[in-house]
């Protein structure tokens, strides 16, 4: 089994920055690469903010937070980020062509035996592995957002993945304080994202059909499942552009136009309303209506549309 000692994360957006911080907190040196240096700067600021918040909440010790931040190394050069890595976690946008391009570049830089793991939300690694000369070292490795509140990673191989690589990923997952969930058979959306996809598709359709406001759909969900936010609040957290890209992967696979995301989602993306990251998605941030205690109270002033 390959020992994973040094890690690189490629793509420093919503997920890459969280994954890198979690891995660093687990004690591993992490290079975080992005081709956009401004994104890398935003990632660094966000990581410092996350760490400060966890220290203030008593979740992390101050020294622990400092040590984790000290293990992070931002890089704008892919070779420098990956040439000594035993594991690369790829977190670039959800497009097969782009991920294949990144897999091919990684294959050139990485030492022999290093694992290329994709954090894709829906794409089977068998669609990516052929872009490299190391399909036996390629895997799906799927985190959930926010990483620290979802301590699980779905782990699965493609057509030729060496079981030892998957075992190494399982062991690594535990080392960073998370539970590996093994994907036994390749499947678009893997395990839980398939379930979430069914929910997401239906709530978007219920709203798009004009059956109810998205706020009332979220209210029902929050009350019934006792969750702090509903599916629309969750999509805002994920990023509406990311949700759209994922839905398009499913639609491309099925070839069924009914699987394409509805205007209720795509119109927001076209306007640039991408969720928390742009300050507006379904809700407005930083103070979304769903976070107001009055959102679910039967009396008093209503918050949001009904
Ligand atoms: N957002 C979520 O909740 C979530 C959850 C689990 C998995 N994912 C998956 O993680 C991946 C990334 O999603 P995200 O939400 O972090 O996206 P994002 O758009 O927030 O970030 C993507 C980052 O990749 C960078 N990038 C683009 N092309 C690149 C390249 N060639 N090389 C290096 N960096 C490049 C961009 O500059 C950006 O910083 C996707 O596959 C997505 O499906 C997302």
Residue to mutate, 93, 154, 249, ligand 1, most ligand atoms under 8 Å from C-beta? 93
Q: How far is the CA of 78 from the centre of ligand 1 (A)?
A: 16
What domains, with CATH codes, occur in the chain?
A: 7-182 (3.40.50.720), 194-296 (1.10.1040.10)
Q: How far is CA 185 from the centre of its chain?
A: 21
Cβ-in-10-Å burial (0-12, 13-18, 19+) of 173 comes to buried
C-alpha–C-alpha distance, residues 71 and 48, integer Å: 12
100 close to 92: Cβ distance less than 8 angstroms: no
C-alpha–C-alpha distance, residues 251 and 47, integer Å: 34
Atom of ligand 1 nearest to the CA of 15: 16
What pTM value is reported for the model? 0.93
Tens digits of per-residue pLDDT, 66-114?
999 999 999 999 999 999 999 999 999 999 999 999 999 999 999 999 9
Which residue, by CA, sits nearest to atom 29 of ligand 1?
Answer: 92
Which residue, by CA, sits nearest to atom 11 of ligand 1?
Answer: 91
C-alpha–C-alpha distance, residues 20 and 169, integer Å: 15
Tens digits of per-residue pLDDT, 243-294?
999 999 999 999 999 999 999 999 999 999 999 999 999 999 999 999 999 9
**Which tokens is 144 given?**
């959930």
Ligand 1 pocket member 15 (CB < 6 A): yes
């Amino acid at each position: 089994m390959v020992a994973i000692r040094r890690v690189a994360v490629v793509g420093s957006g919503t997920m890459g920055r969280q994954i890198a911080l979690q891995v660093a907190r687990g004690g591993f040196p992490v290079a975080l690469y992005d081709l956009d240096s401004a994104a890398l700067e935003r990632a660094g600021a966000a990581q410092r903010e996350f760490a400060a918040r966890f220290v203030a909440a008593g979740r992390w010790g101050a020294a622990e937070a400092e040590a984790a931040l000290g293990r992070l190394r931002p890089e704008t050069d892919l070779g420098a980020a990956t040439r000594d890595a035993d594991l690369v976690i790829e977190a670039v946008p959800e497009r097969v062509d782009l991920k294949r391009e990144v897999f091919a570049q990684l294959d050139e830089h990485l030492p022999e035996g290093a694992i290329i793991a994709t954090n894709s939300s829906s794409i089977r690694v068998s669609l990516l592995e052929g872009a490299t000369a190391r399909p036996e070292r390629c895997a799906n490795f799927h985190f959930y957002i926010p990483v620290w509140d979802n301590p699980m990673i779905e782990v699965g191989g493609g057509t030729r993945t060496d079981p030892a690589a998957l075992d190494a990923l399982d062991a690594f997952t535990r080392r960073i304080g998370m539970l590996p969930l093994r994907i036994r058979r390749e499947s678009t959306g893997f395990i839980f994202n398939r379930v979430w996809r069914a929910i997401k598709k239906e709530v978007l359709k219920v709203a798009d059909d004009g059956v109810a406001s998205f706020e009332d759909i979220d209210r029902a969900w929050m009350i019934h499942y006792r969750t702090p936010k509903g599916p629309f609040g969750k999509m805002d957290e994920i990023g509406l552009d990311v949700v759209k890209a994922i839905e398009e992967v499913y639609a491309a696979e099925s070839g069924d136009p009914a699987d394409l995301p509805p205007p209720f989602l795509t119109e927001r993306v076209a306007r640039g309303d991408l969720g928390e990251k742009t300050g507006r998605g379904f809700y407005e941030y930083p103070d979304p209506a769903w976070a107001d205690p009055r959102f679910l109270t039967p009396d008093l002033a209503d918050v949001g549309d009904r």
